[in-house]
Structure 1
């Protein structure tokens, strides 16, 4: 089975409790997903990590497709209270090196689906409107 490398964007930097839950979650026990935790007292440090980095999970996941890999991690992230996936970025150097890189279709689908799910979270959108927009209604 192929291994897919990508960066999953989450809704917030992990706090200490979430990091602890992440570290003890069976879904992440294989080490295929990692995070950067910011310092508890940022004022005590001269140099801090880029704030965007604190909202990223580095993923190297085995799955049949890139879409399956992203979906798996996005599902597992919800096991951590208060954390959810809101987007995805692909870190494949082969894609990055071409002049106008075409993103894999699975990546585009995953990123747009996660961004839409995030936008709809808590929004009061009638099912008829979602259907009119071409979205499947469960």
Structure 2
């Protein structure tokens, strides 16, 4: 429904744009009306684009939160298979008087063993040669 004030403003616009006593609109009046309609349509288009962008942003935020939770869960589960071998505790103080410095450690690059087979070897690089000699006589 159109309010009285908008109907009144339309009437005023038409009478302002009328050409003399003939009651018809002239070209400048028509051009002015077209410009006003273009601006109104442009504002409506921008409003629609902003609303669509807000909806997309909300959906992406929800998806991002779900993906972050999933990544966190996967990382936590992958760490469950890690083990720590305490060489210092296993070897005893007579072999290793202090914990060895380890540069890096990784599994051997072989296929994953089938059920019942020996597990893959772990390769450890000891920082000091003397400590390696104490571990492997």
- Relative to the length of structure 1, the TM-score reads 0.22
Q: Which structure features the higher share of strand residues?
A: 1
* Relative contact order higher in (CA < 8 Å, ≥ 6 apart): 1
Q: Which structure features the higher share of helix residues?
A: 2
Larger radius of gyration: 2
